Amino acid sequence: MALKIVKGSIDRMFDKNLQDLVRGIRNHKEDEAKYISTCIDEIKQELKQDNIAVKANAVCKLTYLQMLGYDVSWAAFNIVEVMSSSKFTYKRIGYLAASQCFHEGTDVIMLTTNQIRKDLSSPNQYDTGVALTGLSCFVTPDLARDLANDIMTLMSHTKPYIRKKAVLIMYKVFLKYPESLRPAFPRLKEKLEDPDPGVQSAAVNVICELARRNPKNYLSLAPLFFKLMTSSTNNWVLIKIIKLFGALTPLEPRLGKKLIEPLTNLIHSTSAMSLLYECVNTVIAVLISLSSGMPNHSASIQLCVQKLRILIEDSDQNLKYLGLLAMSKILKTHPKSVQSHKDLILQCLDDKDESIRLRALDLLYGMVSKKNLMEIVKKLMLHVDKAEGTTYRDELLTKIIDICSQSNYQYITNFEWYISILVELTRLEGTRHGHLIASQMLDVAIRVKAIRAFAVAQMATLLDNAHLLTGNTQRNGICEVLYAAAWICGEFAEHLEDPMLTLEAMLRPKVATLPGHIQAVYVQNAAKLFATVLQKHEGETDSQAAQETSQLLIDRLPLFVQSANLEVQERASCILQLVKYIQKLQQKNVEVAEEVTALFAGELNPVAPKAQKKVPIPEGLDLDAWINEPPSESESEDEKPKAVFAKEEPKHSRSRHTEVDEKELARRREARKQEQANNPFYIKASPSSQKVYDAPGVEHIPVVQIDLSVPLKVPGMPMSDQYVKLEEERRQKEKADKKKKEKKKKREKRGKGRKGDSGPESEEDITPAHHVDIVTEEMPENALPSDDDDKDPNDPHKALDIDLDKPLADSEKLPVRTHRPEVLKSPAEDRDDNTIPQETKKKSSKDKKEKKKDKEKDRKRSKEDKKKKKKHKDVEEELPESLPEEVVQSEETKEASDLDFWLSSAPVPPVAQVVTVSSSAAAATVDSSSAAAAESEPEELKDTEPDDTKSSKHKKKKQKKEKEEKEKKKKKRHHHHHHHHSDAGAEDSVQNGTVEDEEPLPPMSNYSLLAENSYIKMMKEDADQVCDIQGNHQDESKVVVSVIFENKSDSFLKSMEFNVLDSLNSKLQRPDGAGPHDGLTVPFQLPPGVSNEARFVFSVQSIVMPQKLKGTLTFIVKTDESSTHEKLDFKLHFTCTSYLITTPCYSDAYAKLLESGDLKGSSLRLEGVNMPFHHLLARICFHHHFSVVERIDSCASMYSRSIQGHHVCLLVKSSDQTVSIDAKCDEPSLLGNVLDEIKQTFSKC
């Protein structure tokens, strides 16, 4: 044995380790591949040995080689071997290799399931950790399914080190096995409040990632995240949360409103740029979602823009880049705020960094206006000339075109200028965007009728100088422009000054070197030009010119007939034959022009790019049905020749509308305008351009003399610059004209001194130089509004679009490995106290205990907000099984209303509505009442401390809520209509749906009359709050009592003092320095008829018995003449119930609890209870602070926990008006008292 070890280590001495391998590769720079292949051979030998150390070493080297790009998949099995080594040092090497090399297709992965499971449950946390890390890289759907439950268990591991990893892995598991999301989600949610910030952060990460893809399912978590956001100081977590809110706000604008304030606070206070940037981003998202009708937020926008400006001005390029990036988001909704920073953006165009320049370009897009378009484009053209790299130059080019053509050429006032810009752009060498320029030329020429003459002249020049464009051998891209030029010249030939010249240019032999599709257009348009020439010379006595033209064609066309391109060949030969025929006719002196022209008659209308798609499919037409027998599979699909001008195709197709009904057109245009006007996203042309349509005609166009013979490259000043100057002059002149007119009409204005400056000139002042009719693109009649968001059906996140608010069904459990088949029991039996769900058995008892401890910690931490939610949920949870369908619906509305509560800052939250609607029908849902009660709770902590610094806004809100609550109580008690009724009823809208439940729960309240006299009425509720104000005083528990004071008199009540005689056991919490008999001042005064609520905190020692405390309220009654002291005695009754806190409990934990045997039992029978079972449960939940653990038919298990940590478990069964309650608790006297109280509750009804 010893010999073997020695031998093994000797072997190892000769083996290369990773370091040797790395060194070796460095020393064999010349023949690296050869060296590595010998190394791989060695590794193969090493892998054959039995010694695991040798194998691990070999695998370690393989990992390095894999990184260098060598395929090591052949060693997959060896990797698994090393993974299953019992020594951690080897195991981790195996897992590392696996995480680098394995992927879903690796077949040995299925061998690893058991090994991984073993490692996951290993007592060594590093074993578990390494298994989790590895799993995150190579988890397959099978592994996810098999291990989901194990990982979920690890989410509650005692060590945060494991918990945080397990939480993060769950995300991958969800992706691979979507069914696991719902069962695991409650626990994941729980982890948001984990005591360890690392775990918390992991949970936030996972939920953020989930929510990013399917935000609507996570909307209900918003309150929780809001709390985290306001309490967390971890910037990494904050960034994630804020990001998440960015995804949620588009769905719920009210959330946005709520967020603005904390976010702006963060923006002001944080010094972390990353956080600042994130906040700004989310504020922008919020503002976008609120976009309409929120003028109040201009301050926030200003703040964002200011901060971004600081970022952009920073010398750090990273900040500059991000600043610009965020700025472009603001631009979409608030262009005005960004436009004021134009100087800065233009500066960025000169930046050294290309990505910054590109970002600045993006911004420019949104910053142009009629006024500055020419100036900005001029600047960009300068950059085009300077630009070094072609990519950046091409980017500039596309941006120029984008900027000019945006919103239907909204900002172009002078199309001659634009055409010249396009022509100038053709001078760019080697650009890829020839077709883009071409399509712009086509678009403008077709749609802007007024510009045709000018465009045709320019295009003719282009054609004439085509050699400049095609001069260099491979300037391929730009020759696309000739396509447009030829087509424009042909189609609008009537504007040509000398069609003959252009025709000649189009038939030069050089044309044959152009790409086929361009030649085809040349040939076709040559025919059009021919027709024009014929027509021009028609009627002339001398038919010489016409005949010469025919001859020219007959001479030149054969060149094209020989073309290799089929299209060119076909067209050329057709036209050649046609011309030959015409020539014959000409020789006979027959007038042919009219007939030839008829070939090309009719006007082309621009068709919207999506028009084809929007043609509605006629009824009864199945496009998918085969017309013929389906072809056999073997048929090879020939690749279709790529249509370069695919987009333009509809325009060129010869299906011309010969006669377009003008009326019809006008009607459609009108309808379209209407639609555009109603569409908030449609950026309308500014009114000035609209008016222009019927403004005086062509005479007003400034006469621009352009010498057509000027060659393309003008030495010195480029052409478009002339327009800039002219435009400048024109505007000034216009301004002057205007001023003159104004002077005549009105008295002199201040504006006199403005002469000559190009200063504050409003958009409306600029009238376009051209009175342009931009023809809108045609759409088919009754086009279908198609939504274009085609989602990727392969998106793995699609499967995770799961409603998480629906309660879990029994069937939804993670698969658990079982050793024996599960016995199916009838549900009634199943709920025996001692039945333990299968999955819990597996866990070690140690695990259990620690888990419990953990949970308790969690609970302690959980604050009002959570509790409120849970309490609320529990009431709901018992409903579903009995009323499956309606409940789901009402669940939703309830969930929604819950969120509504949280979100509504409006004065009347939905409670009021529900109450008013249902005061007679008694249909108020538990939801609304409990939510109403709960709503006031969150502020409770702060309120109990006499804290006057709180914002008055908060207080107001709170008072309002309480008023409503109060109002509701009154209705219930007195059943008469109150003067506030109409007030509250007026605002009905949000959710009357809740009321329509078939079996509504009766209204419930925990408020009871405390004392009353002619002046005042007190009602109290034991708010079941534990506030661990000092977390280290574990033994000290606190109970909060809310008391509503209502002034019943006509006088003003003030100086109220609340005092209680402390007992040994229970003491009123008084502020520091106050004596044990001093009263507490009630922090408000009561005008006549008004009520308000105050909260008092009591500390309690023992909670097993109910208590009574005597107390007095003293106050001053102030009337007009006099003021009198009055007092009111009361008795505060602390029931044992009030020491219970609604605490949710998972069925597995519940079963464990019962199994532990620490609990003593007791039972109770109630006769003659005549109410539906779910009402019964709701009552117990509501009045006695229990939560339903599980419910099957008319049998339910319930759980609650006292403020001192006693567990109280109930099993409630109901049959024929008899309810039996079996109860267990670790404190028998507490249990006895609670049961008595439950009995009392039901005896009352």
- Interacting residue ranges for another protein, rule: CB under 8 A: 18-19, 22, 60, 63-64, 66-69, 71, 88-89, 92-93, 96, 100, 103-104, 126, 129, 132-133, 136-138, 164-165, 168-169, 171-172, 198, 201-202, 205-206, 209, 212, 235-236, 239, 243, 273-274, 277-278, 317-318, 320-322, 352-356
Contacts 24+ apart (CB under 8 A), 182-190: 182/802, 182/804, 182/806, 182/808, 182/812, 183/152, 183/808, 183/812, 183/813, 183/814, 184/148, 184/152, 184/155, 184/814, 185/804, 186/808, 186/1146, 187/152, 187/155, 187/156, 188/155, 189/221, 189/224, 190/858
Rg of the chain in Å (alpha carbons): 41
984 in the Ramachandran plot: left (φ > 0), alpha (ψ -120 to 50) or beta? alpha
Select 19 or 473, whichever has its Cβ closest to another protein: 19
Classify residue 888 by burial, with Cβ atoms within 10 Å: 0-12, 13-18, 19+: middle
Closer residue to another protein (CB): 140 or 936: 140
Query: Three-state DSSP class for 985?
Result: helix
* Least distance from another protein to the Cβ atom of residue 1128, Å: 57
Q: CB-wise, 278 or 874, nearer to another protein?
A: 278
Token pair 């009409």 in the structure block, residue:
745
User: In terms of CB distance, is 325 or 1043 closer to another protein?
Assistant: 325
Whether residue 565 contacts residue 628, with contact meaning beta carbons closer than 8 Å, is answered with no
Least separation in angstroms between CB 170 and another protein: 9
* Cβ nearer to another protein, comparing 91 with 873: 91
C-alpha span between 200 and 921 (Å, rounded): 45
CB 358 within 8 A of CB 348: no
Nearer to another protein, 61 or 370 (CB): 61
Provide, rounded to whole angstroms, the least separation between the CB of residue 309 and another protein.
Answer: 17
Backbone angles phi, psi at 1099, to 5 degrees: -100, 140
Contact 128, 797 (CB under 8 A): no
Closest distance between another protein and the C-beta of residue 279, in Å? Answer: 11
Contact 527, 557 (CB under 8 A): no
> CB of residue 66 vs another protein: minimum separation in angstroms?
8
Between 797 and 1054, name the residue whose CB sits nearer to another protein: 797
- Give the residue with the Cβ less far from another protein, 311 or 1159: 311
Angstrom distance (rounded) from CA 926 to CA 894: 10
Q: CA 1036 to CA 904: how far, in whole Å?
A: 36
Output 212 or 1160, the one with its CB closest to another protein.
212
Task: Please state the closest distance from residue 792 (CB atom) to another protein, in A.
Answer: 12
Min. distance of Cβ 341 from another protein in angstroms?
Answer: 19
Looking at beta carbons only, is 355 or 1085 nearer to another protein?
A: 355
Q: What does the chain come to in residues?
A: 1245
Q: How far is the CB of 214 from another protein (least distance, A)?
A: 14
For residue 104, CA distances in Å to 71, 80, 512 come to 16, 15, 54
Closer by beta carbon to another protein, 17 or else 38: 17
Joined together, the tokens standing for residue 688 give 């000035």
Among candidates 1145, 1123, 1132, 1120, which has minimal Cα distance to 1196? 1145
924 contacts: CB under 8 Å, gap ≥ 6 = 914, 915, 918, 968, 1000, 1001, 1002, 1003
1021: β partners: 1042
Q: Which residues touch 953 (CB under 8 Å, ≥6 apart)?
A: none
To another protein, the closest distance from the beta carbon of 131 in angstroms equals 12
Residue 24 or 907: the one with the smaller Cβ distance to another protein is 24
The DSSP output letter for 868 is H
Of 1099, 1112, 1141, 1195, give the one whose Cα is nearest residue 861. 1141
Which residue type occupies 369?
A: S
Phi, psi (rounded to 5 degrees) for 1192: -130, 120
Beta strand pairing status for 1016-1023 and 1008-1012? antiparallel
Minimum CB distance to another protein, residue 87 (Å) = 9
Q: Rank residues 234 and 1065 by Cβ distance to another protein and give the closer one.
A: 234
Helices (H), ranges, 340-497: 342-348, 354-367, 373-386, 390-409, 415-425, 434-447, 452-464, 466-470, 480-491
User: Residue 244 CB, nearest distance to another protein (Å)?
Assistant: 10
273 beta partners? none
CA gap 214, 248 in Å, rounded = 9
Q: Rank residues 273 and 1192 by Cβ distance to another protein and give the closer one.
A: 273
The distance of closest approach from Cβ of residue 150 to another protein in the complex, given in angstroms and rounded to an integer, is 16
**At closest approach, how far in Å is the CB of 339 from another protein?**
24
Exposure string for 684-708, b = 16+ CB within 10 A, e = fewer: ebbebbeebeeeeeeeeeeeeeeee
Nearest approach, Cβ of residue 334 and another protein (Å): 22
Please state the φ and ψ torsions of residue 252, each to the nearest 5 degrees: -145, 90
Q: What is the C-alpha to C-alpha distance for residues 798 and 790, in angstroms, rounded to an integer?
A: 13
Least CB distance to another protein at residue 645 (A): 27
Cβ 325 to another protein, closest distance in Å?
9
The angle, 0 to 180 degrees and rounded to 10, between the axes of the packed helices 354-367 and 390-409 is 10
Q: Which is nearer to another protein, 126 or 682 (CB)?
A: 126
Q: How far is the CB of 311 from another protein (least distance, A)?
A: 10
Distances (CA, A) of 668 to 294, 671, 778: 34, 5, 9
The residue (of 104 and 603) whose beta carbon lies closer to another protein is: 104
Min dist. Cβ of residue 321 to another protein (A): 4
Q: Rounded to an integer, what distance in angstroms lies between the CA atom of residue 25 and that of residue 37?
A: 11
Query: Which CB, 57 or 84, lies closer to another protein?
Result: 57
Pick 70 or 1084: Cβ nearer another protein: 70
